[in-house]
């Protein structure tokens, strides 16, 4: 059984949606080091397909390549899993905010430790 480091509880699963490969890699590595089970997607369409596997947390950039934004991905995630924790990341977006209820927004650049702390505060 996968567990969070030293806690004995099942590890939380996280889907990271980020189009910048280096940013995505660093975030995923940081989350794995913190004990999370992590999957990743580069585009909104890929994220929608991945959501079928079920996740505890969605960490998504807002501006993504293709036709879907992070707003769209979060809305689909909430339809599939109403209690999924949603965290948006953005450096800049001209889009009007469409945050799902109870979600959080973090400005880029951000570190994996900042995201882990945000996830832990919200899960408590």
What's the alpha-carbon Rg for the chain, to the nearest Å? 13
Break the chain into its structural domains and give their ranges. Answer: 13-123
Percent of the chain whose pLDDT exceeds 70: 87
| Cα gap 47→1, rounded to integer Å | 25
pTM, two decimals, is 0.87
pLDDT tens digits, one per residue of 54-73: 999 999 999 999 999 999 99
| Cα gap 21→26, rounded to integer Å | 9
| Cα gap 107→54, rounded to integer Å | 26
Fold of 13-123: Rossmann fold (3.40.50)
Crossing angle (nearest 10°) for helices 112-123 and 21-33: 50
pLDDT tens digits, one per residue of 12-43: 999 999 999 999 999 999 999 999 999 999 99
């Amino acid at each position: 059984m996968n567990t969070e480091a030293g806690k004995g509880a099942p590890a939380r699963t996280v889907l990271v949606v980020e189009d910048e490969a280096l940013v995505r890699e660093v975030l995923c590595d940081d989350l794995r080091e913190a004990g999370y089970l992590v999957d990743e997607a580069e585009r909104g369409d890929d994220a929608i397909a991945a959501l079928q596997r079920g996740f505890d947390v969605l960490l998504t950039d807002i501006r993504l390549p293709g036709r879907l934004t992070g707003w769209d991905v979060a809305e689909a995630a909430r339809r599939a899993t109403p209690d999924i924790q949603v965290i948006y990341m953005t450096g800049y977006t001209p889009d009007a905010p469409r945050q799902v209820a109870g979600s959080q927004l973090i400005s880029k650049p951000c570190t994996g430790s900042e995201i882990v702390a945000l996830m832990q505060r919200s899960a408590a």
